[in-house]
Amino acid sequence: DTAVSQTPKYLVTQMGNDKSIKCEQNLGHDTMYWYKQDSKKFLKIMFSYNNKELIINETVPNRFSPKSPDKAHLNLHINSLELGDSAVYFCASSQGKNYGYTFGSGTRLTVV
């Protein structure tokens, strides 16, 4: 019974392609996040939605677009993939500001 599930787990694709990563949480949390973890393991927040409303939109290329059809889902679409987009992308959710995050297991994106 996975709390935060991401698909796919691995994604290998060519430069210039468009791809999506899906995330779903069954915890009833109000807030969802997308993080990027680079090869040095640094974590960078990309986006956050609270009850389907965008609340954090960090400086990321316009090629990245989040979509939240409902509060249990937050998908990430990436256009025109570049080599530098290769990283592990984590989805997470939380009940509120005072609570810890529950992370998905990550999507390892490799752009060739």
Partner 1 sequence: AQSVAQPEDQVNVAEGNPLTVKCTYSVSGNPYLFWYVQYPNRGLQFLLKYITGDNLVKGSYGFEAEFNKSQTSFHLKKPSALVSDSALYFCAVRPMDSNYQLIWGAGTKLIIKP
Regarding 102 and contact with partner 1 (CB under 8 A), the answer is yes
- Stretch of residues binding partner 1 (CB under 8 A), selected from 20-28, 65-73, 77-85, 94-102: 94-102
Q: Which is nearer to partner 1, 82 or 99 (CB)?
A: 99
**Shortest Å distance, C-beta 58 to partner 1:** 9
Least spacing, CB of residue 98 vs partner 1, in Å: 6
Of 71, 65, 68, nearest to 94 (Cα)? 71
Contact status: 105 vs partner 1 (CB under 8 A):
yes
* Whether 93 contacts 32, CB under 8 Å: yes
> What burial class does residue 47 get, using C-beta atoms within 10 Å of its C-beta: 0-12 exposed, 13-18 middle, 19+ buried?
buried
Q: What residues between 32 and 91 interact with partner 1 by CB under 8 A? A: 40-43, 45, 48, 50, 55-56, 90
Size (the chain), residues = 112
Cβ proximity of 102 and 95 under 8 Å: no
Residue 82 and residue 52: Cα distance in Å, rounded? Answer: 28
Summarize as ranges the residues that interact with partner 1 (CB under 8 A): 4, 31, 40-43, 45, 48, 50, 55-56, 90, 92, 94, 97-106
